[in-house]
Amino acid sequence: MCGIVGYVGKRPAVEILLAGLKRLEYRGYDSAGVAFFREEKIEIHKSEGKLENVEKLLNGRAPAYQDVCCGIGHTRWATHGKPTTQNAHPHRTGHVVLVHNGIIENYQEIKREIISKGYRPESETDSELFGFLVLEQMDRGASLMEAVRQSFARLQGACSVVIMSEREPNVVIGVRNGSPLVAAADPAGGTILASDAQPLLQFTRDVVFLEHGDIVLGTEKGLRFFELETGKPVARASSRLDWSVEKLDKQGFPHYMLKEIYEQPTALMDTLNGFLDRARTDSFPLAASQPGVALLEKAREITLVACGSSWHAASLGKYWLEKWARVPVTVELASEYRYRDPVLGANALLIGISQSGETADTLAVIREARKQGIPTIGITNVRGSTLSREADATFFTFAGPEIGVAATKTFLAQMLGLLIFSGFLSLKRDGWHAGSLVSLDSVSRLFEDMIRIPHLLSDFLGNGSSATGLAGVIRKIAAELASAKGFFFIGRGYSFPVALEGALKLKEIAYVHAEGYAAGELKHGPIAMIDREMVVVVLAPRDQWRDKTVSNLQEVKARGAIILGIGNASDEELIGLCDHWIELPSVKVDESLVPFFLTPVIQLLSYELALLHGTDVDKPRNLAKSVTVE
Ligand code: M6R
């Protein structure tokens, strides 16, 4: 999705804009640009492709920009119009220059109007049109602030805008009307704005998440907030973030994705600490500070709604909630669910899961549920995200910032959150559960195992450097499978959603065709595709489904597939069927926890295959980290 940065203050603005845009690269983009004041005029430098192209345009001139102290920058992910330099932001209309994130739904109508008034848009974007509205208002005598307010009233759709005018040098105005915008005062004097908090962290951890319908005025003196609708000043409190800027760097790993895979034990530990009241080890209550506890306790049926990897986490959640809490659960793709006419019973609870908290489809479902009076909970990794503001209550995962576009540690943290819910609801024995519950002892053991998981996973992952460690083994296997025609990931039970996630990871970062399948379903069609060039990755840990999975494996073995097995040591029968073999750790934990070991295996496999295919692992083509359009 598009990324916005704006700065006005005492520091060199060009450096700040470029560094800020780099922090936003993970959101996905296909063109970029910056605009800044030199004396009283605004210069624009923009290009299709990567940010480096803009840096090249500026290169060699950097010292000449040292005195620039006000500007805006943008990374664009094309929606209206191709990813060309002309369509790249910032856009100029006369003395007005702006960047925009989101969609102007009534842009056709606005375009007709401004053309009829003699204006000539130069790009194919909806964004540029807003500039003409502002220009027209200012030419009638309005201040920039007033012109932005009046022009915004004309727009339909969710977006945020950051804007400057040569008539008001060294002023940056930002509006949030749906799409997120975050602002902070620069302690050295000034204001910084961005689409998310990451570009701000180099200056401060105290940031303000603008509310929907806020307008912020940034000057060298700092920032002031107003209501977009009325123009009245409004007070906005800042939130203190616990994300340090060091946490955002790669710390020696070649890619963020790899770093984030290795951060999973910490992400799990922090999420356990965040969800549970760790002072109590006898009954494993949810932390009292978590505001959704009462909503969870009251639920008699649960609908989990999400997209992509979050939907895979939800699918695992269904298995766990049904097993441990005996609560009826449905799992829904947000993009489908929002356009259905679903039936929910009294005492239903809707849980929206989204690492970014900004996924448009998931948010639409939450809004609709709230309209209908259905209680909603959000699970997200991002404080201040729209999901956390709009759901009735939010549980935050504590995975820390995830920069790689592929969800890794946030996925594991979501899984853990849902497993904690399952154990917690199992302990609430108030007589309504659908069928008999597992014993209290086994729930206690489940929690004890959960608490051990970060350490066990850390041991399993090792430090990634040894040739005989997990990463080394996977690297060697990947090299042998790199030219395969395609991949099937198969599993049953808890391994099925992990198989789906394995196929998604491989597609998104290695651009290799892959499908995730329930092992029992292969013979209903896809088995026709199996031949000697097709790899079947079978997830077959020793659990209640293992024997059935091994039978399904025989079916593909007989048809010549190349088989990569992931299972437990001493499973000689399974090992005998496999051409390649990855061993899960020999640890005694409840089988509900096995997906926490299987998942890093499929993540590392996709990572290694992506390296061999030479793709842009952290920023795969065509993808965005937070998908704020439907
Ligand atoms: O931010 P969300 O969790 O709502 O995002 C949902 C999907 O867009 C996301 O999981 C996507 O599938 C990832 N790129 C997967 O790695």
Count up the domains in the chain and report the number.
3
Beta-carbon neighbour count of residue 16 at 10 Å? 26
Domain that holds residue 277: 253-451
Residue 436: DSSP 8-state: P
Q: What is the domain-level CATH number for residue 130?
A: 3.60.20.10
| CB 380 near ligand 1, within 6 Å | no
CA dihedral 25, 28, 31, 32 (to 10 degrees): -30
Secondary structure E strands in 243-367: 301-306, 329-333, 348-354
Q: Per-residue pLDDT for 281 more than 80?
A: no
Q: Per-residue pLDDT for 452 more than 80?
A: yes
- Same domain, residue pair 434 and 505: no
Residue 246: predicted pLDDT: 59
- Same domain, residue pair 446 and 467: no
Choosing from 216, 243, 270, the residue where a domain stops is 243
Q: Which two tokens stand for residue 75?
A: 């990374």
Asked whether residue 248 is domain-assigned, the answer is: no
625 CA: nearest ligand 1 atom = 14
Q: Which two tokens stand for residue 534?
A: 């097709």
- Same domain, residue pair 494 and 567: yes
Asked whether residue 623 is domain-assigned, the answer is: no
Beta bridge partners of 517: 490
* Mean per-residue pLDDT of the chain: 91
| CB 386 near ligand 1, within 6 Å | no
Residue 12 makes CB contacts below 8 A (sequence gap 6+) with: 65, 66, 67, 68, 69
| CB 177 near ligand 1, within 6 Å | no
CA nearest 588: which of 541, 620, 537? 541
CA angle 152, 154, 160 (to 5 degrees): 35
Residue 43: predicted pLDDT: 96
Nearest CA to ligand 1 atom 8: 308
List C-alpha distances in Å: 10 to 14, 33, 64, 208, 565.
12, 21, 16, 20, 59
List C-alpha distances in Å: 349 to 131, 366, 392.
43, 11, 11
Which helix (H) or strand (E) segment is 371 a member of? helix 360-371
Residue 464: predicted pLDDT: 72
Nearest CA to ligand 1 atom 12: 308
- Same domain, residue pair 417 and 304: yes
> If you average pLDDT over residues 291-320, what whole number do you get?
95
> If you average pLDDT over residues 24-34, what whole number do you get?
82
Asked whether the bond before 90 is cis by omega within 30 degrees of 0, the reply is yes
Q: What is the domain-level CATH number for residue 585?
A: 3.40.50.10490
Q: Per-residue pLDDT for 519 more than 70?
A: yes
Q: Per-residue pLDDT for 248 more than 70?
A: no
Residue 1: predicted pLDDT: 67
Nearest CA to ligand 1 atom 2: 354
Asked whether residue 622 is domain-assigned, the answer is: no
- Same domain, residue pair 410 and 549: no
Nearest CA to ligand 1 atom 7: 308
Which helix (H) or strand (E) segment is 457 a member of? helix 440-461
Helix axes 440-461, 264-275, angle to 10 degrees: 150
CA dihedral 604, 607, 613, 618 (to 10 degrees): 180
CA nearest 520: which of 498, 495, 490, 500? 490
Asked whether residue 232 is domain-assigned, the answer is: yes
| CB 405 near ligand 1, within 6 Å | yes
Phi-psi region of 272 (alpha: psi -120 to 50; beta: other; left: phi over 0): alpha
Q: Per-residue pLDDT for 345 more than 90?
A: no
Q: Per-residue pLDDT for 282 more than 80?
A: no
Asked whether residue 573 is domain-assigned, the answer is: yes
Residue 573 makes CB contacts below 8 A (sequence gap 6+) with: 550
Residue 344 makes CB contacts below 8 A (sequence gap 6+) with: 301, 303, 350, 369, 372, 374
- Same domain, residue pair 113 and 158: yes
| CB 508 near ligand 1, within 6 Å | yes
Asked whether residue 322 is domain-assigned, the answer is: yes
Q: Per-residue pLDDT for 251 more than 90?
A: no
Catalytic positions, please?
2, 625
Task: Look up the pTM and report it.
Answer: 0.74
CA of 627 to the centre of ligand 1 (A): 8
- Same domain, residue pair 349 and 223: no
Pocket test for ligand 1, best of 256, 316, 351, 355 (most atoms within 8 A of CB): 355
- Same domain, residue pair 278 and 205: no
| CB 355 near ligand 1, within 6 Å | yes
- Same domain, residue pair 435 and 474: no
Choosing from 212, 243, 274, the residue where a domain stops is 243
How far apart CA 538 and CA 536 sit, in angstroms, is 6
Asked whether residue 624 is domain-assigned, the answer is: no
> If you average pLDDT over residues 608-623, what whole number do you get?
92
pLDDT category at 132 given cuts 50, 70, 90 is: very high
- Same domain, residue pair 264 and 282: yes
Asked whether residue 627 is domain-assigned, the answer is: no
- Same domain, residue pair 588 and 544: yes
624 CA: nearest ligand 1 atom = 14
408 CA: nearest ligand 1 atom = 16
- Classified as helix, coil or strand, 459 is helix
CA of 85 to the centre of ligand 1 (A): 28
- Same domain, residue pair 418 and 329: yes
| CB 123 near ligand 1, within 6 Å | no
pLDDT one-digit tens code per residue, 203-237? 898 999 898 899 999 999 999 999 999 999 999 99
Cβ neighbourhood burial of 466 (10 Å; 0-12, 13-18, 19+): exposed
Nearest CA to ligand 1 atom 1: 356
CA of 258 to the centre of ligand 1 (A): 17
| CB 378 near ligand 1, within 6 Å | no
| CB 354 near ligand 1, within 6 Å | yes
pLDDT one-digit tens code per residue, 583-601? 999 989 999 999 999 999 9
List C-alpha distances in Å: 476 to 256, 411, 583.
21, 26, 14
Do 61 and 12 meet the contact criterion of CB atoms below 8 Å apart?
Answer: no
Q: Which two tokens stand for residue 28?
A: 């996905």
Q: Per-residue pLDDT for 404 more than 80?
A: yes
CA of 312 to the centre of ligand 1 (A): 10
Choosing from 243, 264, 298, the residue where a domain stops is 243
Do 157 and 171 meet the contact criterion of CB atoms below 8 Å apart?
Answer: no
